[in-house]
Amino acid sequence: MSDGSPPSAGDRRPAGAGGGLAGAAGRATFFPAKAAARLWRSELDAAIDAALRSPEAEEVIDRALAGPLPEALARSLVRHHVAERIAAELARSGELDRLVREALASQAAMDLTDNAMGSDAVKHAVAVLAASPELRNAIAAQSGGLADDVMGAVRTAAGRLDDRVGRGNPPYAGWATRAIALVTDLAVAAVVYASALGVAALLGSLVGGLHPTWLVTLVLTVGWTVMAGTYFAVFWSTVGQTPGMRLMHVRVQTAAGAPPGAGRSLVRFALTLLAIIPLFAGFLPVLVDRRRRSIADFGAGTVVVHDDG
């Protein structure tokens, strides 16, 4: 008799251990049912497949799509954020990145890009954009900003050299600032002179050229002197600064703070030539003078000051 207590571990047996014959008999009993179920399921799958391929099923689907079902389905997808959830899952799994890379690297994408870039619409859009005043203004602003930054750095470095080498008060321009301005002006004057010389050479070739050689050298020297003197004298006497001095933010002025007149400017130019000839020795006083004046400034009664205060 059983006393209601659970069987001990020694009394437990695996299922079917003591009744192996009964288990085998049970499995044999259910085998025809399982075989019939598999056969019935296969026939059911075939019937469903045939029904879906039938014209009647196509007509039913067509009527469903022609009705409000697509709109209702779209509203449901939007309401439940299905697209966002799918996109989030694709992004989380890295599948979205892979799909995008494969799409961009495909030949179809390259062909599409080539066709789009070669189309008349894109060419017209590029032409309109290139001719727009907004693009020109933007390029000019960027170029001007870059030039200002570069020249600002040059002016700052030159100012530091002025203070390290030499003496004098900061309102007066030192040797480095003046040297950069002078070299810039000489380069500009050389370009102008070369252009004028080209025109003169063309005209001279029409009359057989200029001879002898010493005469050519004399004409070139006199022409350069006259052109350079005109260049410096005109700028000094009118606005008080040459293009090179404007870049360095300095100007030449008299003791009264006004630009030098034409006569004073010509004197200053002549003395500048004399200061340059002996290895720029005429600019050595800039290093020791309190107002940083050169020989040309002493002779013309001028000073060179910073234009930006």
For residue range 201-216, list pLDDT tens digits in order: 777 666 666 667 787 7
What's the pLDDT score for residue 12?
Answer: 47
Residue 9 has a pLDDT of: 45
pLDDT tens digit sequence for 151-189: 889 999 998 998 888 776 778 999 999 999 999 999 999
Is residue 176 within 8 Å of residue 215, measured between CB atoms? no
**Position 105 confidence tier, pLDDT thresholds 50, 70, 90:** confident
- b/e per residue 153-182 (b: at least 16 CB within 10 A): eebeebbeebeeebebeeebbbbbbbbbbb
Residue 62 vs residue 263, higher pLDDT: 263
Q: Say which residue, 293 or 126, is predicted with more confidence.
A: 293
pLDDT of 144 above 70: no
Mean pLDDT over 96-104 rounds to 81
Kindly give the interhelix angle for 213-238 and 262-276, rounded to the nearest 10 degrees: 130
How high is the pLDDT of residue 14?
46
pLDDT single digits (tens) 1-14: 445 455 544 444 44
Residues 295-299 have a mean pLDDT of 95
How many angstroms separate the Cα of 269 from the Cα of each of 35, 239, 241, 246? 118, 16, 13, 18
pLDDT of residue 87: 82
The pLDDT assigned to 18 comes to 45
Helix ranges, 54-174 (H): 55-66, 69-79, 82-93, 95-105, 107-117, 120-131, 133-164
The predicted structure's pLDDT at residue 101: 82
How confident is the model at residue 2, as a pLDDT? 46
For residues 174 and 161, is the Cβ–Cβ distance under 8 A? yes
0.95 cut: is pTM over it? Answer: no
Q: What is the DSSP letter of 54?
A: S
> Per-residue confidence at 137, pLDDT binned at 50, 70, 90?
confident
Kindly report the average pLDDT of the chain as a whole number: 80
For 13-47, the pLDDT digits (tens) are: 444 444 555 555 555 555 555 555 555 566 666 76
Residue 116, pLDDT score: 75
